[in-house]
Amino acid sequence: MPKVVTRFAPSPTGFLHIGGARTALYNWLFARHHGGDFLLRIEDTDKKRSTEEAIDAILKGMRWLELDWDGTAISQASRADRHQDVALEMLANGKAYRCYASTEELAEARETARAEGRNFRGDLWRDRDPAEAPEGAPYSIRIKMPREGEVTIHDAVQGDVTVKNAELDDMIILRSDGTPTYMLAVVVDDHDMGITHIIRGDDHLNNAFRQYQIFEAMGWDVPVFAHIPLIHGMDGKKLSKRHGALGVEAYEEMGFLPEAMRNYLLRLGWSHGDDEIISTKQAIEWFNLESVGRGPARFDFDKLDNLNGHYIRECDAERLLSIVKSGLENTLDRALERAEIDRLSRALPALAERAKRLPELVESASLFCNTRPLELTETAAKQLTDDVLPVLEKVAKELEAVTEWNGPVIKAAIMSFAEAEDLKLGKVMQPIRAAVTGGKQSGDLVETLEILGQDETIGRLRDRVAA
């Protein structure tokens, strides 16, 4: 097999769509699996709808997902001259012809075809002599589609798909203003970029038959097509705004890790036995087009959450710390102090066990920041009634006397205090927890106190007494 070259060819009209991200991922994996190239082409020919911001959003989304492309991103619009040359070459070779029909004539012919139950092929000038056109009249260039036979595309995902050539219209390849149509631009670019495999959404399957004819007309190799089913929402309907987040950046904001996203998008339409957790390294090793499903995949946030939880737990300690640190610095609007960072690095492994999304983790980690006096949740406030405040005061004193601040010593101090006061352990622990955490989700209390440190713990207890 010659070197594999794939491409992702988004139209920059908004954000990086979640379905587009999956298409990009499959192209990337396929190229990486085969040691080939993965190219990026921005299909920015629709000047009215393409914006710089949308291009930036796509590049940003790709970078966030760590889908690195080879070479520089190619702008389709910048290649218009080349597209035009190809149209003229097709004209010169008799594979295309000039069409002088006006918009009105075409509309009329379309109407007649419909009334007669025929396919409209736009072929008013196919067999006419251009000399019949008025001097200097504007014309577009149309491809001369074959009328006989049929074409079978051996789609790597859909299997063999056959279309009768008679169903194809003589589509315009170059408009009368000299601009290329999308259908022409895609084929010329795919050829010039040396694309061997076109992996894209199955909403482009019909286009493949029209594009095939341009490849043929130019005598170019036709790439392998692989049309992947679209993503549907949980309700089985095509993914749309109603289903919520469509852009990749929304997933970054919701606190998903890029590796979790890759794993999720990979499984959304591709499988490897019963494996759910598939690292990127394994994905590169295993990815193939044969195992892409033929049915539409359903988007499922619970699955994504579970995978994200897995990757949060797997996350390298330093990276997780830096993510949480910047999250906290954002919410607190200040830099974290050394002591806070130290507490975080000790607390994070346990916190990571429970988190599904990063904001949740940041929220639970905020417990370890200097934010005295803490705000109390309603539940915590209810637990800190007047009659427990003397207990807190005494326990603070007891903990102040501790000379070696570590788990077993702290625990022993609290237990002996409870015993001396003739209180059930819970009656002591519960108000301590409420005062020290303010009611935030927290794990093992003694461990929390240990990590918070002696001064901070006593400070938080005394804040309540003083309040």
Chain centre to alpha carbon of residue 129? 52
Q: From residue 101 to residue 120, what is the string marking binding to ligand GLU with x (rule CB under 6 A)? A: --------------------
Does residue number 9 form part of the binding site for ligand GLU (CB under 6 A)? Answer: yes
Minimum Å gap between C-beta 345 and ligand GLU is: 43
Contacts of 460 (CB under 8 A, 6+ apart): 372, 373, 374, 435, 436, 452
Concerning whether 440 is annotated as a catalytic residue, the answer is no
Task: Give 9 or 384: the residue with its C-beta nearer to ligand GLU.
Answer: 9
Across 378-414, b (16+ Cβ under 10 Å) vs e yields: eebeebbeeebbebbebbbebbeebeebeeeebbebb
Q: From residue 159 to residue 198, what is the string marking binding to ligand GLU with x (rule CB under 6 A)? A: ---------------------------x------------
Contact between 1 and 288 (Cβ < 8 Å):
no
Please give the size of the binding site for ligand GLU, defined by CB under 6 A: 7
Task: Give 197 or 200: the residue with its C-beta nearer to ligand GLU.
Answer: 200
Does residue number 43 form part of the binding site for ligand GLU (CB under 6 A)? Answer: yes
Name 75's bridge partners. 42
Task: Give 227 or 440: the residue with its C-beta nearer to ligand GLU.
Answer: 227
Name the catalytic one among 95, 241, 325, 424. 241
Minimum Å gap between C-beta 204 and ligand GLU is: 5
Which residue, chain included where needed, has tokens 């702008």?
A: 75
Contacts of 254 (CB under 8 A, 6+ apart): 245, 357, 359
Q: How far apart are the first and last CA of the chain?
A: 75
Does residue number 12 form part of the binding site for ligand GLU (CB under 6 A)? Answer: no
Q: From residue 193 to residue 222, what is the string marking binding to ligand GLU with x (rule CB under 6 A)? A: -------x---x------------------
Contact between 143 and 217 (Cβ < 8 Å):
yes
**Phi, psi at 238, each rounded to 5°:** -50, 135
Task: Give 43 or 170: the residue with its C-beta nearer to ligand GLU.
Answer: 43
Which window, 7-15, 242-250, 392-400, 438-446, contacts ligand GLU (CB under 6 A)? 7-15
User: Up-side HSE of residue 450: CA atoms within 13 Å toward CB?
Assistant: 16
Minimum Å gap between C-beta 91 and ligand GLU is: 24
Contacts of 48 (CB under 8 A, 6+ apart): none
Minimum Å gap between C-beta 292 and ligand GLU is: 15
Name 226's bridge partners. 199
DSSP strand E in 202-281: where?
224-228, 231-232
Task: Give 57 or 362: the residue with its C-beta nearer to ligand GLU.
Answer: 57
| C-alpha separations of 111 from 107, 184, 234 in Å | 6, 26, 41
Which window, 3-11, 111-119, 164-172, 400-408, contacts ligand GLU (CB under 6 A)? 3-11
Which window, 4-12, 267-275, 403-411, 459-467, contacts ligand GLU (CB under 6 A)? 4-12
Minimum Å gap between C-beta 49 and ligand GLU is: 11
Minimum Å gap between C-beta 132 and ligand GLU is: 36
The encoded tokens of residue 431 equal: 């108000």
| C-alpha separations of 20 from 35, 186, 455 in Å | 22, 17, 52
Minimum Å gap between C-beta 261 and ligand GLU is: 19
Q: Which of 4, 10, 84, 461 binds ligand GLU (CB under 6 A)?
A: 10
Distance in angstroms (rounded) separating the CA atoms of residues 236 and 307: 22
Distance in angstroms (rounded) separating the CA atoms of residues 6 and 29: 10
Contact between 294 and 229 (Cβ < 8 Å):
yes
Q: From residue 64 to residue 103, what is the string marking binding to ligand GLU with x (rule CB under 6 A)? A: ----------------------------------------
Q: Which residues bind ligand GLU (CB under 6 A)?
A: 9-11, 43, 186, 200, 204
Supply the residues annotated as catalytic: 241
